[in-house]
Chain A
Amino acid sequence: MRLMNRLYSKDEGWTFVEAMLAVVIMAIMVLGLTVMLMAFREHLDRSWAVRTMDQYGNDVVERLTHSLRNGINVQVNTRINNYSIKIDDIDVTALDPMYLDDAHAITNRWRVNTRAVQVYAEEKPKKSGLNAVDPLFPPKRLGRGEYFEIKRFTLSEYGKDRDSPDGSIWENERLDSWSRSETFKEATYLIRFVLAYHRNAINAGDKSWDFEKEYNNRVYMRNKNLPIRKSVEAGQDQAG
Chain B
Amino acid sequence: MKLFKKWRSDDGSIDFIQIVTGLVIIGIASIATIDGFHQGYGWLDYQNRHTKAVSVARSYMEYLQGRIHTDFQPARFEDAQLMQGNRNAPLEVLLDGRDPDDPNDNVFCSVHHGPFLPVDRPETGEGVDYWRIRVWVDWNEPNSNSPVLHHQVFFEGMMLPEGL
Q: Which residues of A contact B (CB under 8 A)?
A: 10, 12-14, 18, 22, 25, 29, 40, 47, 51, 54, 58, 61, 165-169, 179-181, 183-184, 187-188, 210-213, 215-220, 222, 225
Contact = CB atoms under 8 A, between A and B. Distances in A.
A168 B94 contact: yes
Nearest to B67: A184
Contact of B14 (A22, A183, A216): A22
B53 interface: no
B60 A169 contact: yes
Contact of A25 (B19, B60, B62, B162): B19
A216 B42 CA distance: 23
Contacts of B32: none
B12 A184 contact: no
Contacts of B37: 40
13 contacts: A10-B11, A13-B13, A14-B13, A167-B93, A167-B94, A168-B93, A183-B70, A183-B162, A184-B67, A213-B97, A217-B55, A218-B59, A222-B69
B70 A181 contact: yes
A220 B66 contact: yes
Identify the interface centre among B51, B55, B108: most chain A CB within 10 Å of its CB.
Answer: B55
Interface of B: 11-14, 19, 26, 37, 41, 44, 48, 51, 55-56, 58-60, 62-63, 65-67, 69-71, 78, 91-94, 97, 100, 106, 108, 111, 162
Given A169-B59, A219-B62, 5 more contacts: A12-B12, A168-B94, A184-B70, A213-B97, A225-B69
Contacts of A29: 26
B62 A225 contact: no
Given A12-B12, A167-B94, A169-B93, A217 B100 contact: no
Nearest to A212: B100
Contacts of B14: 22
B103 to A, nearest CB: 10
Contacts of B19: 25
Given A167-B94, A168-B94, A220-B63, A10 B44 contact: no
Nearest to A189: B62
- Most A-side CB within 10 Å, residue of B41, B58, B92, B162: B162
A217 B58 contact: yes
Closest 3 CB pairs of A and B: A167-B94, A220-B66, A184-B71
Nearest to A213: B97
